[in-house]
Amino acid sequence: MCDQEGSPAIEPVVVVSNERVATSVCRIVLDAPRTAATVEPGQFVHLRIARHADFILRRPFSVHRARGERLEILYQVVGRGTRVLEDARSGDVMDVIGPLGHGWRIPEGTSRALVVAGGLGAAPMGMLVERLAERGVQVALAQGAPSAGRLLARDLFDSLCRKSVVATDDGSAGTCGFVTVLSAELLDREQPDVVYACGPEPMQRIVAGQCAGAGVPCQVSLERLMACGVGACLSCVVDTHDGLKRACVDGPVFDAADVVWDSGDEPEAV
């Protein structure tokens, strides 16, 4: 791995804390000074869960926040790897490759932005919202989740966003229904210069269509199986109007207008 400044490199990391923050979602904090200093909003890291040598492949995780020498990662406990990760304790040693991929871009002259997050799609939005606020951009945020217990990073979003609204499938918080209803309303009301979306792909397809209809640029962060993280295995391809791209090196953030969306996708709860 290259270790030039700002380039991906293997870095030993130490677990600082690891705790549940929502239903089936945890936040792990890692002491990772090099990666924390170089990661940009929307990039990700490949984490080796070092206590189990039989885990041959690393796990890709978006970076929620980078503060000082520490990385914060939000992850959902869904399989064996994340169940083992949930058991990690303070002082455990792992390693990461990072920062990887291309992240969010803030166009010159942006003064208003709309952020749309569905489910765990809120994870890569932490650094983005912080960066937008640092640049004086007014942020409106629409967040969706299955229930109130699955809403993530609410304190952070409420503190940095000029407007922050939520939708839940069961109506336990905010609007009952899809977050795409909120994104359509905010797109019309807030008149943003740019829209950022992350979440289930059917949700992102709808947001991309809303933005195309309104003539507003939209960026999406697409989730794919990233076995290697460095573009070698071709397991994370995204169909674009310029041909197949690799999410791990050409993304995970893409211009929504460049993506060839599956028109058969149906909206799902976010």
Please give, one letter per residue, the 3-state secondary structure of the chain.
CCCCCCCCEEEEEEEEEEEEEECCEEEEEEECHHHHHHCCCCCEEEEECCCCCCCCCCEEEECCEEECCEEEEEEECCCHHHHHHHCCCCCCEEEEEEEECECCCCCCCCCEEEEEEEHHHHCCHHHHHHHHHHCCCEEEEEEEECCHHHCCCHHHHHHHCCEEEEEECCCCCCEECCHHHHHHHHHHHHCCCEEEEECCHHHHHHHHHHHHHHCCCEEEECCCCCCCCCCCCCCCEEEECCEEEECCCCCEEEEHHHECCCCCCCCCCC
CATH 2.40.30.10 in the chain is located at 9-100
**How confident is the model over 99-120, as a mean pLDDT?**
96
Residue 81 is predicted with a pLDDT of 83
What kind of architecture, by CATH, is found in domain 9-100? Beta Barrel (2.40)
Average pLDDT, the chain: 89
Q: Encode pLDDT of 226-268 as tens digits.
A: 666 566 666 788 999 999 998 888 999 999 999 999 864 443 4
CATH 3.40.50.80 in the chain is located at 112-258
| pLDDT range class, residue 191, cuts 50, 70, 90 | very high
Residue 96 is predicted with a pLDDT of 93
- pTM equals 0.91
Q: Which residue has the higher pLDDT, 47 or 79?
A: 47
| pLDDT range class, residue 269, cuts 50, 70, 90 | very low
Task: Decide if pLDDT at 220 tops 50.
Answer: yes
Assigned CATH for 112-258 = 3.40.50.80
